[in-house]
Structures are given as structure tokens and as C-alpha cells.
Structure 1
């Protein structure tokens, strides 16, 4: 192993132990070549559980939004969504028009919509569209439902047909049944880990499981503007929609910037999950289980990192999760900038 990656591996392993994960994986692609592949631990925190390897499939939780984001980008490119600045009321007749007000599609995919939902399912407004930033789940649900209406296909069906099958992905799927390749998720370190499965495999739930390799390949598809091995799998314009800054202009410069759900590095901001040393134009998606996919076009790299602990980094050394997400991407940037 090249010594240049030792600091990065040590950091990943240190966090794995301190955060009570049973599993980790770290892969790096550079110039389409696999330059680092590291696996550690086991599928569960119980004795005799299977060791982590190439075929281990992790629950990537909210990182599934990058898959939804590409489906939305297709809809924009193909004119099913006429404009990012179309009002949401034109697409969501089931919602109160006064509540949606001037919320746009742009707001919904950049977390600037201002909508939230209480425990009873009542939707309410936290701030006016485009005037703030908040990570909520309602916009993900809305856009997932919209893609299904526009295409008469679920997000999962659309992506399987257009991307997973053409590229031969066999370790990327929304899972509803247990199998030996799935890595269990730890919620409480004092309790046995469990499978994070859904009731449906249509892409509407957080049950997407991906191997670290195919997660990296997914990032490389975006890095390569949809062209893999000389074949244009996804139109370049679709990838550009997904990964460029689409956020409205915020008065508060600390807010993160987003593409179609991806976090995108523009001018570094304090609330971004991308560290300040990461080059402009980079993009990243993360999940609450510790899954991270970082793409740095300036260095031609894709980094896939996996853990299996829900609410990673909480209360380690008094730092919040944002510190550790930023620090990981900064270490990656340092590794390749030298």
C-alpha cells in the first residue's frame, strides 16, 4: 500500500473504533483506476459475523438522494420539469397552494424550500422559500413522488433501466429482504445491529444498499460526465444539472450550496459538509450511517467511505458531526494536493 494513504486510513479506522462501528470501507478511484481499496471489521457487532469485503453492501441512508437527484436532473433535461424556477404548485396539486406559495423546484432540491412536517403528518412552513436552508425529509418525499408521476416509473425503475443495467451494477438496490451480503446497522452500541430494510424497493425509502465499489463507480459516473469507457451512459447535460450549484443566492453566506441534492463546493461556507480545503467544483453526498461519496474533479478522484453506525460522530471529543465530515474531506484534499 502507498504510504500516502496511511493518514486517511488511520483516520477512518480511528473514527470507526471511537464511534462503535463494526465495519468500515474506503475506496479511491483516480483517473478511472482503483488506487486504494481498504476493508475492515464485520457485518455486525456480534460474534462470528461475516468479514467486510468487496461484495459487502452498506445501507447508505440519505446518500440515496444523489440517485434521486439524477432522476430529477433527467426530468429537467427532458422537459418533464420545464424549469428549475417553476412553482411547485404546478406539480403538486395535493398541497395547499397558500402553503407552497412561491416554492420552486429549485428550492425543493437545494433544501431552501422552508417546509417541514410534524409527527402527525401536518406540513407547515419554517421560513419563506429561498430565504433559508434546512435539511428536512419532506422535499425528498415530494420529488420522489413527482418523478414517479412524470415517468410512470419509480426512481428505482428509472435508474435500473437507464444506468444500473447498462453499467452492470449488481450490488446497488433498495432492499426488502435479508441476505448475507447486507451489512447491519448499529443504532445502540450496547444492542445487536439490525438490517435496515424497507417495505418497498421502488426508491421511496432509506433502504438503498450499495457496495463500496459500486458507490465509487456511481461517483465516477458523475466525475466522467456520464461517459464510461467511451460510451455516453447519461447525457452530459444531465450530470451538469445534478452537480452544479443550483442554490438560490443566500444573504447568509454560511449556508451550504447544493446541486440536485449533492453538496457542491462554491465559496467554502461554515455550514457546508465539505471542508474549506477542498477545491471549488467538488461535490459530496453523505448518509446518517456514515456513508460518504466525495468527488473532486480537480484531482480526478472519487472517494467512497462506508460505516455502519447510525448518527456517526456524535459527541466524540465534544465536536459535532459537521466537524468530522469536513475534516474527512479536508484530509482527502490534503492527500492529493501535495
Structure 2
């Protein structure tokens, strides 16, 4: 610890461009890093924060396919798009073959890049595995069956399904630019023996709507889902992901899953770092029906249910499933702040991955540009 302080200085303790994991560092300080810090640290989150390893297996082949050339409606080139939006990597897999692979910001095939909220979709997929294994009994179970510490507060009548769809009705502020928001402060507070700090924070939140009535995006609730999976299965999220998907499906590299350095709780809502190719393999795993190592990993009907629209988000043609953003054309996506994307299009057998370091966590302009990129890929996919 002293060596880390000498290396980066007190003011840069959390923001070192590569060195050692820092005990008690606030994981949400990533929201306020500057551009050079983002571009350096997003590829090395495990050196800043405690993490668990997700062990890989024998790599699932991703052979080269016919090159794909995105066709932007306004004539933008892929190179211009990547430069303008600080893109570290793009991969497009169609029919199981890599049709496009590009890197920026000094990244390459071996670079592990943080996924931010794409991790939510990983966590939800583990719910599907836990249902298949019988570790979670049903989505209409009360959350307190697995997290009894929440019984005295606003979560006492909330179901697992309502956590997955973010319709708990519990009050929450997800403003990434506000240091006083819930998403910025959810790992703060007084630690209670045997209780994850995140659970203590969530237990104190008040109710705003009746359960199931209103969709409100809440990263903290996906962290609760992750803790629920860990409690139900007796495995860390990293170990369970390795057992169910990463090893048997054949991811090419180990991944990292961030955790609290004191209580060991993994961040189900924003904690996975993996290579571009392995994010694409995860999308292909879903296109393959959730089978890995010749076995069905997810509960019967899970994929169709998880990627269907369960909540209205107020955007035409879109909705929210079980930690997936859904589209009326049958596609679905894991989307993370600062430009991360895992888009799956079953009708076209298409997986689109983008890793980036946007200058802001989120903005309408950046989101529109990313959506235009997806449309450009789809336009080029038929060539």
C-alpha cells in the first residue's frame, strides 16, 4: 500500500495508469476519471480494484468470414467513427464467423476491457443457469428468501422478477454526473458484520412506487441480483460463470470480475472485464441457444423470456427484459456507459461488440452515434 502511494501520489491514488489494486478504493470513482485515465484504466481495471478470475477453457474457434464493410447513412467511414468516439475495439460475428475486427486506443486481441453495464446481462444469464440447476426456485420468489437482510425495508415485497426488470418501485438516482447520486454512493456507508456493504445501502432506500408499477434503471439492483445468485449457488459470480460458460463454451482468455475488497461481494451490475473476442463468443453462446460443452446451461425458455420486453422504457421500438435492452425486431443488447455494447440479432445470426472510452458516461449524441453504427453494420451484413 505504501509503495502504491509513493508511486502515484495521494491525489492520483485511484487513477494510476497501471500499477496496483488499491484497498478500499471507491469503484464508482471511475465515473469521474478524465479521458487519459479512462483510456489507460479501462483496459486494466483489475490493477485498480480487487477482482476474481473467471477461468477460460479451450478456445471456441472464431474463423474469419467474408469481410463486412459498415454502410453509414451519412457516409461516415469506420475509421472516422472509431476516432470520433474513442473506440477501443469492434467485432462483428455473423453465422459464427468474424466479419469485422478493428482496434483503437492501443488495444489489441489480448486486451481485457471493462464492460460496465454489459455485465448486467452476464449476471442475468447466471440467473437462468441457477434456475436450471434448481438453486433459484422461481422468479416470483420474494427477494428476501435469498436476501433476508432486506426484510425490514422497501424490498420486502419485491420479487426476483421485479429485480431483473428493474420494476421494484424503490427510489433510485442513476445520474452518473452527480457525485451525490445513488449510483455514485452505493458502495458507501457503515459496514455491518456479515452483510455486504451494497446490501446495507440498498436496505435503507425508501419506496417510490408499488412493486411492478414503474421501470427505473438501477445498477444497485443488479448488484443485488448478483449477491442473490451467489447466495443461491454457493459460488462466486466468477466461479459460476467459469463453470457454466467460460470454460465449457471455450472462451479464449481469463476474464476478471470486480469485487469489494473487504466483503468480497462482486459487482453484478458493472464488473466484468474480458477480451473483445470473448464478448463476441458470449453473444455466440446465446445464439447457440445457451448450450456449452454439449449441455444446456440455461433454464428451458430462459433466453426467449429474458430477451423479451417486460418493461416499457418510454422509447418506441424498445423495452427492457431481464437485464437486456430489447428491440421489437427480436434483437437485444447489453449496453454499458462510456460506449460499451454487446448487440445480438438472432434473425441475422449477428453479434456486434463495441468497446470504448467515450468522453462522457452517456449522452444522447453518443448513443445516437452508436445506434447509427449498429444500423451501418446491419446494412453491410447483407453484402
TM-score per shorter chain, which class?
0.7 to 0.9
Structure 1 counterpart of 2:348 = 299
- Does the 8 Å CA contact 2:72/2:373 hold for their aligned counterparts? no
1:143-222 to structure 2, matched below 5 A, reads: 143-174=225-256, 199=261, 203-204=266-267, 206-222=270-286
Task: Judging by fraction of residues, say which structure has more helix.
Answer: 2
User: Unpaired runs of 5+ in structure 2?
Assistant: 1-65, 173-181, 190-200
- Does the 8 Å CA contact 2:68/2:380 hold for their aligned counterparts? no
- Does the 8 Å CA contact 2:153/2:206 hold for their aligned counterparts? no
Structure 2 counterpart of 1:82 = 137
| Cα deviation, residue 213, structure 1 | 0.7
- Does the 8 Å CA contact 2:92/2:98 hold for their aligned counterparts? yes
Deviations 1:159-190 (A, max 9, x none): 112221223324342267xxxxxxxxxxxxxx
| Length-normalised TM-score, structure 1 | 0.73
| Cα deviation, residue 236, structure 1 | 6.7
| Alignment RMSD | 3.2
Structure 1 counterpart of 2:334 = 285
Deviations 1:199-244 (A, max 9, x none): 488642634211111110000000110246x833624727526643
| Cα deviation, residue 333, structure 1 | 3.0
Structure 2 counterpart of 1:189 = none
- Does the 8 Å CA contact 1:24/1:39 hold for their aligned counterparts? yes
Q: 1:59 to 1:251 in 2, by over 3 A?
A: closer
User: Unpaired runs of 5+ in structure 1?
Assistant: 43-51, 177-196, 267-279
**Residue 5 of structure 1, aligned match among 56, 70, 81:** 70
- Does the 8 Å CA contact 2:317/2:327 hold for their aligned counterparts? no
Secondary structure at 2:109's aligned position in 1? coil
Deviations 1:26-71 (A, max 9, x none): 11111111111112231xxxxxxxxx22111111111111211111
- Does the 8 Å CA contact 1:61/1:287 hold for their aligned counterparts? yes
Output the CA distance in 2 between the equivalents of 1:29 and 1:115.
Answer: 39
Q: 1:38 to 1:77 in 2, by over 3 A?
A: same
| Length-normalised TM-score, structure 2 | 0.65
State yes or no: 1:107 paired with 2:173.
no
Q: 1:125 to 1:326 in 2, by over 3 A?
A: farther
Output the CA distance in 2 between the equivalents of 1:222 and 1:3.
Answer: 22
Output the CA distance in 2 between the equivalents of 1:207 and 1:89.
Answer: 24
Q: 1:93 to 1:198 in 2, by over 3 A?
A: closer
Secondary structure at 2:102's aligned position in 1? strand
Output the CA distance in 2 between the equivalents of 1:3 and 1:298.
Answer: 17
- Does the 8 Å CA contact 1:147/1:155 hold for their aligned counterparts? yes
Structure 2 counterpart of 1:226 = 290
Structure 2 counterpart of 1:130 = 212
- Does the 8 Å CA contact 1:292/1:306 hold for their aligned counterparts? yes
- Does the 8 Å CA contact 2:162/2:168 hold for their aligned counterparts? yes
Output the CA distance in 1 between the equivalents of 2:318 and 2:68.
Answer: 33
| Cα deviation, residue 113, structure 1 | 1.6
1:251-330 to structure 2, matched below 5 A, reads: 256-266=318-328, 280-309=329-358, 311-312=360-361, 314=363, 319-330=364-375
Structure 2 counterpart of 1:275 = none
- Does the 8 Å CA contact 1:243/1:264 hold for their aligned counterparts? no
Q: How many residues align?
A: 288
Q: 1:2 to 1:158 in 2, by over 3 A?
A: closer
